[in-house]
A = this chain, B = another copy of it.
Amino acid sequence: MMEGPDIARIAALIGDPARANMLAALMSGRALTASELAREAGVTAQTASSHLAKLHAGGLVGTRKQGRHKYFSLATDEVAHLLENLMGIAAGAGHLRTRTGPKDQALRKARVCYSHLAGDLGTQLYDGLMRQGALHLDGSGMGLSDAGETLMRRFGIDLDALKSRRAPLCRECLDWSERRSHLAGSLGRALLSRFEAVGWARRDAASRAVLFSAEGEARFRETFSLPAR
């Protein structure tokens, strides 16, 4: 006993419903203010402040002060990965909370996972990149092949800027609805924001859903050689 790191400490952090709701809200990838998170969790500002302080001390969220606002976001991709993982188990093992409403279906099709694309389209993208050899997974981790780099540059991704950062370019992230991997890392982030920039998709304001237009989805499938739906 007592071997390995203190797992209970951070599990307990996530274990409070108010904090869990805050973290789930931060899975949108957007940085949110303390009051927004308070509203999201359904508690008053004071309790939210206390919760956020604990999340910060526990290393799960990062903060940024801007004027009289304080913005919170998930600390790392790994935290997002953990949360997604938790959702998978909660969806499978917990009672069937998955009442597949219409909004729920949109979430399953495409949603934001921290800051990259998840859901059916996210895993399809990942699979497609793997299939055509744009992505590879070898000893040193995951990376882009030459063909992949060309593809990304042609799509308008500034790879040089991404590479100059310390953050890993490619990571995989387990999808809770699909139970398969999708692409995370700074490239995953850049791709999602590019999808928005070129008008293929936009984020739902109220949820984590990513709404592709009909034409946007067609162009998306075409660009990454995915089967037409």
Contacts and interface: CB of A to CB of B under 8 A. Distances in A.
Interface of A: 1-17, 19-21, 23-25, 40-42, 58-60, 75-76, 78-79, 81-83, 85-98, 103-104, 107, 127-128, 130-131, 137-141, 174, 176, 180, 207-208
Contact of A11 (B20, B59, B96): B20
Given A24-B4, A130-B137, A9 B90 contact: yes
A88 B93 contact: no
A79 B137 CA distance: 24
A5 B94 contact: yes
A88 B16 CA distance: 21
Main SS at interface, chain A: helix
A168 B58 CA distance: 35
B15 A8 contact: yes
Given A15-B11, A20-B7, A94-B6, A78 B89 contact: yes
A198 B43 CA distance: 58
A4 B20 CA distance: 11
A138 B78 CA distance: 23
Contact of A5 (B9, B79, B91, B130): B91
B3 A7 contact: no
Given A1-B24, A7-B24, 13 more contacts: A3-B103, A4-B107, A4-B176, A5-B87, A6-B90, A7-B90, A11-B15, A59-B89, A59-B92, A78-B92, A127-B139, A131-B138, A131-B139
